[in-house]
Each structure stands twice: as C-alpha cells, then as structure tokens.
Amino acid sequence: MANQTGRNSSAQNRLAQVGEHLQSSGPKGKSALLEKHADDIVVTAALRSAITRGRKGGFKDTMPADILTGVFKSLIERSKIDPSLVEDIAVGTVLAPGGGATEFRAAAIAAGFPVSAAVKSLNRQCSSGLQACVDVANAIKAGMIDVGIGAGVESMTLQYGPTAVTEFSDALEEVEESANCKVPMGVLSEDMAKDKGISRASQDEFAAHSFQKAVKAQKAGLFKEEIAPLTVKWTDPKTEEEKEIVVDKDDGIREGITPESLGKIKAAFAADGTIHAGNASQVSDGAAAVLLMKRSTAQKLGQPIIGKFVNASVVGVPPLLMGVGPAAAIPPVLAKTGLDKNDVDIYEINEAFASQCLFCINELGLDQAKINPKGGAIAFGHPLGCTGARQVSTLLNELRRTKQSIGVTSMCVGTGMGMAAVWVAE
C-alpha cells in the first residue's frame, strides 16, 4: 500500500511539472489567441453531411464509405484545394469492421484524391472525429505534412449491433417519431444521474430546449452553410421502391417537443428512472471533414481561412462514471491556452445524454446560453465517429455568423474518457 501511495505521489509530481511547463510555454490568454501567426494551424474548410436517423433516415441505404466520399468531394469543391496537395487523411470511426481502413482509403480515391494521399482510420470512440482533426493538426505542426484532412463517419444503421441498442418504437408517439437510447451507456448514465441528483424534469427541459433550438436554426437556414447536400439511393420502406433523393437536412429534428411531451415517455432502464428515448442522443448516420494547414501555406495557396486549431486535451475518468468526460477535459485545455471559462463564446458539448451534459455544465459553472446554440445530438443525432469533426463545422460557422471568436468542442468518451479542443474563428 505504501509503495502504491509513493507511486501515485510520484506520478502527481510529474503531472504537476508538466502542467507548469505547459503554462509557462508561449503567450496565452484571449488576446494572444486572437493574434495571427504564420505557423498557426488553420482550418480552410469544414463541412458535413446532413445527419439522418438510424434505420429510417435519408442515409439508411447508403454505405458509410459512400457518405464519406460525398463529403470529401464537397470539401474539394468548396475549398478548391488541389487534391494532390493533401498528404494525409485521418478518419475517425467506431463501428466499422476492420476499423474502416480499406473502405476509407477507397473513399478518398473515389472522391478524387490521388493515390499519393495517405489515409488512416482511428477509434477513440465518441471523440474519434475530433481525434482525427487533432492528429492531422499535430502532424502539420511537427512538419510531417503540410496539408491534411481530419474527418469522421458512422453508419449506425448498418453497423450498430442489435445487442447494443434498444429501440423504443412507441415511446415518442407524443413527438411523432421514435428515438433510440444506447445500452449499456444509458444504464451508466442513469446511475450517474441518480448519484448526482439530476432530476428527470431538468433533463426533459434541457432535451426539449435542444430540439427547439435546432428547429429554430433549421428554419432559419443556419445549417445550410455547414451541410453538403448528397444525392443517394433510398428505398421506400412502404412501397419498396428505390428512389434517388437529395439528403440536405438533418431529419431527426422534430417540432413541437416540450418538457411536457417528453415527460410522458416511459423511462428506459428503470421504472423510476430518468433517462428515455427523448432525452438521449439519437442513433444516426453521417460524415464530416475538416481541411487543415499552416497559415503560411493557406496564404500561399490562396485558401480562405475560417478558423484555427489552438490546442486539445484528453483525459481518463472512472469507466463506470458515465458522461463526466467534458467536465474533466475542458479545464486542462483552458489552462493550456490561458483562457478563463468566460472567455469562451460558444461551447459545443456533445449531448450523449441530457443527464451527462447537464452534469458537466453544472460542474464547470458554464453559462447555458453558450452551450450548443443550434441544438445538439439529442435533437439531430450522434453518429459516433462523425460527431467530433461535425462539431468543428457547426462551431466555426456559428462563431463567424455571430461575429464571435473563441469556441470549445468537447465530448464524453466511452470506457471512461473525455476530450476537448479550443478553436478560434476568423
């Protein structure tokens, strides 16, 4: 026991030394982050597909590699980047057999990238898309590559196993369509909600607000700039007729959701439980991609700069304490960048469950008005590997639209982790 205590003390001392080093290296704080330097890692394009409902939505008959191919093509068209300049592509995914390595390489080539563009897949569960962006940013910073893409994709329709999801087909009669609730993460989130005293009423209010914000944003056309319309084949489940459709809007967003309507839905995991299909993230399909390079490279190529990557943090938390990851991951990245929590204009925190998102907001003392201003995963879905890259597009577009500058993306991560990153819009 004494030896273990000694090892823990030694590890804490090393962490403290690393923290001191991080805090003393380079200019920090809001004013420093707003400065522009030639070696900044900038974003010149960030977009996503629409996010569609698992097993029912617009991408239910589309392979994930085909969604990714469409997003890659749109990224090339929108950025006007010469595909031959892209040296590496990282794609986050969670469910793809074999990690998706073969199909994502094929997707890149099919989209128009030359065979010289390398491709890798990676899985850090719900933060996979963000990890892909961070990996590419760090490779550029280290001088390994000059231009790269961080991306994410998931088809939960095709690859989310029947033992991992429970469908509540009748649960949302009051809100028109059914949503899905994830197991066993939902069970762990239920335990956390009870342990932290997060009431069902507060969860339902948060979830309803997510839907209402997303409806308002969709009607105002606020998602159009970040969504790349994709043409796909889709089979009508009623007539079995195959059609060609354009998927250009998130189809999980529903009008008329209120705390009262959500309050009528049966709890998912216990008779006296608080979590149900309406206050959990939807099972969904989608893809997203972010084009990254140094500012000097972007200026040389005439690429429009929409924002920059600043720094990221990833932490471990107790595996059975579901959802606390953002509360643990956000403070370190704020410390690394010298930011106060109030310096951040927008927080995109993934809504895996209303309970876990509420806990993180409350634990950090964040202003709810700054959280997911266009709604979140409860309203439009959480395609696991896609979300981290999707958040970058959503965040930078909203910061630019509202003439704000500093944002944070964050999410809880399965098996007990959290990840967060700081971005600056230009």
What does the radius of gyration of the chain's CA atoms come to, in whole angstroms? 21
Secondary structure of the chain: what % helix, strand, coil (to 5)?
A: 40, 20, 35
Residue among 181, 357, 173 at smallest CA distance from 269: 181
Helix (H, G, I), strand (E, B) or coil at 233: strand
Q: Give the torsion sign (CA, 254, 255, 256, 258).
A: positive
> What letter does residue 369 receive in the DSSP assignment?
G
CB 218 within 8 A of CB 210: no
Residue among 99, 380, 39 at smallest CA distance from 223: 380
Which element (helix H / strand E) includes 379?
Answer: helix 377-380
CB 186 within 8 A of CB 269: yes
Cα distances (angstroms) measured from residue 76 to each of 46, 129, 154, 235:
11, 19, 21, 29
CA angle 64, 70, 74 (to 5 degrees): 145
Task: Write b or e for each residue in 377-398: b if 16 or more Cβ atoms lie within 10 A of its Cβ, otherwise e.
Answer: bbbbbbbbbbbbbbbbbbbbbb
Helix (H, G, I), strand (E, B) or coil at 339: coil
List the alpha helices (DSSP H) in 80-228.
101-111, 128-141, 156-159, 185-196, 200-219
Q: Which residues are catalytic?
A: 126, 382, 412
Helix (H, G, I), strand (E, B) or coil at 326: helix
d(CA 14, CA 25): 17
Residue among 381, 414, 22 at smallest CA distance from 178: 381
Token pair, residue 388, equals 């981290």
Give backbone dihedrals phi and psi of 70, rounded to 5 degrees, phi first: -60, -40
The strand ranges marked E within 30-115 are 41-48, 52-53, 88-92
